[in-house]
Amino acid sequence: MATQYQVRPVRADEWNEIKALRLVALSDEVAPLAFLESHAEAAARPDAFWQERARASSVDAGPNAGARQFVAVTVDGTWVGTAVALVERAGDRDFADSIIETSGGHLVGVYLHPDHRGRGVLGDLVAAATGWLHDLGLDRVRLYCHEDNGRARRAYEKAGFAPTGARVTSVVGPEIEMAMTL
């Protein structure tokens, strides 16, 4: 029997689960290509950091939140995947310190445990995150993918993203921008 999943936004009081899933993600073999922090950096963060991160990206943050984290949870309550949608406003600066020209969304922190890949769960996480952005009136979402992370690039393409031709060099190396219309 196939595992059933619930994809939903996080709640502020779930900071321990958010931290635990992030540490699992940062242990993945491609984590050095996919995330802007190391397992050691994340593990050293105080509980207050995780509590604030959870509060700011949860359904409890209210309708004007600048982020929303979604998780995939199995029927037995195991957290197996996540995606975070960020709101980007025209005129603000992004993570690369570039001026954002057009308001839209930015997908970050995407992870799905290897045992649950290939079952459509990643697509459901992306759909939940992009649906939230669309409901806010945004019409475009972007993400960055390391140029050597073919697995992620294929998954994002399957979810509807396409390379834009833009590139950045971040702390993890050369990354390509991918985007989709909402």
Q: What is the pLDDT of residues 42-88, one digit of tens each?
A: 999 999 999 999 999 999 998 889 999 999 999 999 999 999 999 99
Rounded CA gap, 78 and 75, in Å? 7
* Any domain includes 30: yes
Instruction: Using alpha carbons, select from 114, 171, 113, 179 the residue that is nearest to residue 144.
Output: 179
Q: Is 168 exposed, middle or buried (0-12, 13-18, 19+ CB in 10 A)?
A: middle
Q: CATH number of the domain at 59, please.
A: 3.40.630.30
**Residue 32, pLDDT above cutoff 80:** yes
126-to-26, 92, 170 alpha-carbon distances in Å: 19, 24, 23
Count up the domains in the chain and report the number: 1
* Any domain includes 16: yes
* Any domain includes 149: no
* Any domain includes 118: yes
Which of 55-64, 93-102, 119-128 shows the lowest per-residue confidence on average (mean pLDDT)? 93-102
pTM for this predicted structure: 0.94
* Any domain includes 47: yes
* Any domain includes 166: no
* 73: helix, strand or coil: strand
Reported in sequence order, the residue ranges of 53-172 that DSSP labels E, i.e. its strands, are 67-74, 79-88, 104-112, 140-146, 162-170
Domain encompassing residue 130 = 5-140
In DSSP terms, 72 is beta-bridged to: 7, 81
Rounded CA gap, 71 and 66, in Å? 17
For residue 97, report the phi and psi dihedrals to the nearest 5 degrees.
70, 25
Amino acid letter, 13: D
* Any domain includes 169: no
* Any domain includes 167: no
